[in-house]
Amino acid sequence: MESRITLGHSTLNIGRIGLGCMGMSEFYGSFDEEKSVRTLHKALDLGVDFFDTADMYGSGANEELLGRAFKGRRDRLVLATKFAVMRGPKGEFLGLNGKPEYIREACEKSLKRLQTERIDLYYMHRKDPKVAIEDIVGTLAELVHEGKVKAIGLSEVDPDTLRRAHAVHPITALQTE
């Protein structure tokens, strides 16, 4: 079995094992930033080079953690993050947002928190039922053309939505939970 794969129709070449980082900032009890950074560094040293986060994890704290942990190491890894699930100041869930202006704002904030100039794989975390998938993916395609995003992913969409999205711009990854 090959130890590396090319992700979808992209140029992203990753190891077969990635690390989901959600638990390093919330949902599974308390967390320790120092231990999390050591875990991230050890994973990278062992050859894990695909790291998954989202702007909603810890209301941005998870992206900030990865940004700090990988400062000076960015060329050694592939970062995936997600947008669309809005959270309030106390972490409460406020709903979904797939409007083009929100996507752009979320992308800029993620770039800043991750301390990077480009997101390798940018997922729509959940589909906003009030916004056509063509408009969502059209905005993501613009971010690709601007160099802010390398590849596009979707999470939790049905086959018809995936086909319609892929007709606008190639979809590199589909995440299911």
Q: How far are the Cα atoms of 31, 76, 118 from residue 108, in angstroms, in the given order? A: 26, 22, 10
Q: Which residues of 27-53 are buried (b: 16+ CB within 10 A; e: fewer)?
A: eeeebeeeebbeebeebbeeebbbbbb
Q: What is the sign of the dihedral through the CA atoms of 13, 18, 24 and 28?
A: positive
3-state secondary structure of 131: coil
Active-site residue (options: 28, 57, 102, 123) = 57
Q: What is the sign of the dihedral through the CA atoms of 94, 114, 52 and 14?
A: positive
Concerning whether 57 is annotated as a catalytic residue, the answer is: yes
* Residues facing 15 on adjacent strands: 4
Catalytic positions, written as ranges: 57
